[in-house]
């Protein structure tokens, strides 16, 4: 046991260990023991819809595009998520995101590691090359209230995880030209919080009356900086995907302003319907 675990002991927050004061040892990373992580969380190895990332349960058929994707074309290329947004995963996410329990970040880091298999799959299907990592921006009001943007933390964590691999993949010349791997180039112009909207409101046509129109834009960048972001594959990062409306709105801007080749959304959790 490390000295940090002695000063700040970590107890398993899983339902199976509730009330047992189950101490985690130095080999058990995060805030769940291996048993609770396996039993209480539902991992998405491969989504049912390879486009929007929707998951219909174990043994469900896999589609290139589900009925919703066919009826409502998206600006993004694909969505992938680590876990199903159920009672257990949402409880932890909300505690980190809204209740300022930043210690839960240790568990969120474990969840981001599940993105690697999705990135490998996207590389195989879509020829993903030297991606630019971009966090979904939050509103100024939300940032002031929480004190951080959860998507930025996740994007920076992914950048750290991929950094060694990306360096190995880059040629010497590309490594020397200063090409960016991470950029918080998006800004939010939204006034309403998506979390308070119903699914039907999120899916409305942005041009219709009372629609939940999401507005994003690109920050004012120097031409030399913007040039490094053009014509790239983009990994858009967020904490949760509900309908894909945020990914669609961001992807439209990234394709229009940065000429993005493909936009892939990676999230920790995925709502199922």
Q: How sure is the predictor about 222, in pLDDT bands with cuts at 50, 70 and 90?
A: very high
Q: Could you say which DSSP state residue 188 is in? A: E
Q: Kindly state whether residues 67 and 201 are assigned to the same domain.
A: yes
Give 147-153 contacts, CB < 8 A, sequence gap 24+.
Answer: 147/100, 148/102, 150/96, 150/97, 150/239, 151/237, 151/238, 151/239, 152/184, 153/105, 153/108
Q: Cβ(81)–Cβ(236) under 8 Å?
A: no
Taken as a whole, the chain contains a residue count of 273
Q: Which of 108, 74, 13 is nearest to 248 (CA)?
A: 74
Domain extent, residue 245, equals 43-270
Q: Kindly state whether residues 7 and 99 are assigned to the same domain.
A: no
Q: Kindly state whether residues 225 and 175 are assigned to the same domain.
A: yes
Quote the percentage of the chain above a pLDDT of 90.
67
Q: How sure is the predictor about 207, in pLDDT bands with cuts at 50, 70 and 90?
A: very low
Q: Kindly state whether residues 25 and 158 are assigned to the same domain.
A: no
Q: Kindly state whether residues 23 and 123 are assigned to the same domain.
A: no
What pLDDT, in 10s, does the model give residues 233-263? 999 999 999 999 999 999 999 999 999 999 9
Q: Kindly state whether residues 80 and 198 are assigned to the same domain.
A: yes
Q: Kindly state whether residues 100 and 193 are assigned to the same domain.
A: yes
What pLDDT, in 10s, does the model give residues 167-200? 555 544 444 445 679 999 999 998 766 555 555 5
What pLDDT, in 10s, does the model give residues 132-149? 999 999 999 899 988 999
Q: Kindly state whether residues 10 and 115 are assigned to the same domain.
A: no
Q: Kindly state whether residues 10 and 125 are assigned to the same domain.
A: no
Does residue 15 register a pLDDT over 80? yes
Cα distances (angstroms) measured from residue 16 to each of 19, 41, 190: 9, 12, 40
The pTM for the full model equals: 0.87
Q: Kindly state whether residues 82 and 137 are assigned to the same domain.
A: yes
Number of domains the chain contains: 2
Cα distance between residue 11 and residue 16, in whole Å: 12
Q: Kindly state whether residues 127 and 234 are assigned to the same domain.
A: yes
Q: Kindly state whether residues 14 and 113 are assigned to the same domain.
A: no
Cα distances (angstroms) measured from residue 1 to each of 35, 56, 89: 20, 41, 27
């Amino acid at each position: 046991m490390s000295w940090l675990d002695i000063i700040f002991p970590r107890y398993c927050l899983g339902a199976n260990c509730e009330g047992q004061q189950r101490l985690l040892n130095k080999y058990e990373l995060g805030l769940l023991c291996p048993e609770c992580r396996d039993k209480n969380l539902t991992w998405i190895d491969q989504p049912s819809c390879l486009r929007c990332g929707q998951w219909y349960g174990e043994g469900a058929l896999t589609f290139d595009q589900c009925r919703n994707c066919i009826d409502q074309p998206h600006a993004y290329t694909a969505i992938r998520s680590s876990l199903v947004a159920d009672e257990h995963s949402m409880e932890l996410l909300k505690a980190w995101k809204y209740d300022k329990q930043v210690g839960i970040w240790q568990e969120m880091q474990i969840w981001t590691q599940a993105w690697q298999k999705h990135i490998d799959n996207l590389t195989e299907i879509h020829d993903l090359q030297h991606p630019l990592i971009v966090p979904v921006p939050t509103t100024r009001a939300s940032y002031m209230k929480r004190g951080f943007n959860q998507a930025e933390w996740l994007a920076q964590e992914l950048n750290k995880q991929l950094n060694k691999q990306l360096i190995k993949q880059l040629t010497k010349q590309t490594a020397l030209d200063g090409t960016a791997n991470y950029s918080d180039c998006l800004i939010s112009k939204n006034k309403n919080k998506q979390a308070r909207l119903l699914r039907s409101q999120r899916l409305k046509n942005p041009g219709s009356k009372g629609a939940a129109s999401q507005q994003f834009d690109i920050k004012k960048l120097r031409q030399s900086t913007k040039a490094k972001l053009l014509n790239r594959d983009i990994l858009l990062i967020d904490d949760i995907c509900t309908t894909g409306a945020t990914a669609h709105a961001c992807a439209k801007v990234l394709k229009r302003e940065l000429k993005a080749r493909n936009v892939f959304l990676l999230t920790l959790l995925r709502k199922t319907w």
